[in-house]
Amino acid sequence: MEHQSSSFMVKTVKASLLDVSSNYVLGGPGGGTDPQDRSFFNPDKYKIILFDQRGSGKSTPSASLEDNTTWDLVKDIEVLREKLGVEKWHVFGGSWGSTLSLAELAFFYQDGASHLFPEAWEEYVAPIPEEERHDMILAYHAQLNSVDEETRIRAAKAWSKWEMATSRLYVDPAYITRAADDDFANAFARIENHYFINSGFMKDGQLLEKQSIDKIRHIPTVVVQGRYDVVCPATTAHALKKAFPELTLHIVPDAGHSAREPGTSKLLVEATDKFADL
């Protein structure tokens, strides 16, 4: 299958489009897409779009927080859809991507992990003075936006390594090495923290409100959730299922956060194969 790459301008921000097609894959915030993200879709049935959100991946300027909110991203998705002439597509997202998927579809989001990953937690808190550790998001926000580049990069690597270390049921050293890359860590940590500090630019529970869910009840929806996900805990999927009982929820008993864990990946591929025939 031929892969095409292009980009488009949004105000002064250039967003990267890796595969021109009619199916959209969400990721982020801040991590960017990976060509391996195509593996969840049968290329004989799907045209696949991988989209780097503002400041991430190949989008420029890298790690930028200017005009970078949930609702800016929702607008970008609509610009992308219209630019490609796509009237209807399947929306696929994991982690932050699932939240942004709900925001885009409808209307246009850590405790306990430190006990499961104590050695990773020590490295995560290391850059933060002890008197500031009562609010790690706020403390990291200060360092990730420091005027001193060394401070920013050190904090970005520690933040990114924490998430990489806690994303899989079995810690994958190769996966953690991504956090050592200055550019990746800077974009991933700064943008993710930017969204966290601003509560996803939404009020608490906004996407679970009845008036929001009512707009999408008719859309076939599958959620695949790792039982031992400490990044986006299973309680979040359970809350969505309670608000949106029409969806299909799969809890993978031997998986954490990563979509590439075997049990999770298998169910995601089954879902995309099923949706291809709708």
What is the per-residue pLDDT across 71-84, written as a single tens digit (0 to 9) for each?
888 888 878 877 87
Active-site annotation holds for 56: no
In a domain, 1, yes or no: no
Do 27 and 53 belong together in one domain? yes
**Are residues 251 and 222 part of one domain?**
yes
Domain boundary among 144, 176, 200: 200
- Does residue 208 share a domain with residue 104? yes
* pTM attached to this predicted model: 0.68
265 is catalytic: no
Is 257 marked active-site?
A: yes
Residues 143-167: pLDDT tens digits? 999 999 999 999 999 999 999 888 8
Q: Which of 150, 182, 200 is the last residue of a domain?
A: 200
Residues 218 and 264 in one domain: yes
91-93/23-26 β-pairing: parallel
Contact by Cβ (8 Å): 247, 273: no
> In terms of domains, do 90 and 178 share one?
no
The single residue of 19, 37, 76, 229 carrying the catalytic annotation is 229
Q: Is the per-residue pLDDT at 205 higher than 70?
A: yes
**Total domains in the fold of the chain:** 2
Domain with 163, as residue range(s), is: 113-200
Which residue among the candidates 21, 95, 101, 212 is catalytic per the annotation?
95
Question: Per the domain annotation, does 178 fall within a domain?
Answer: yes
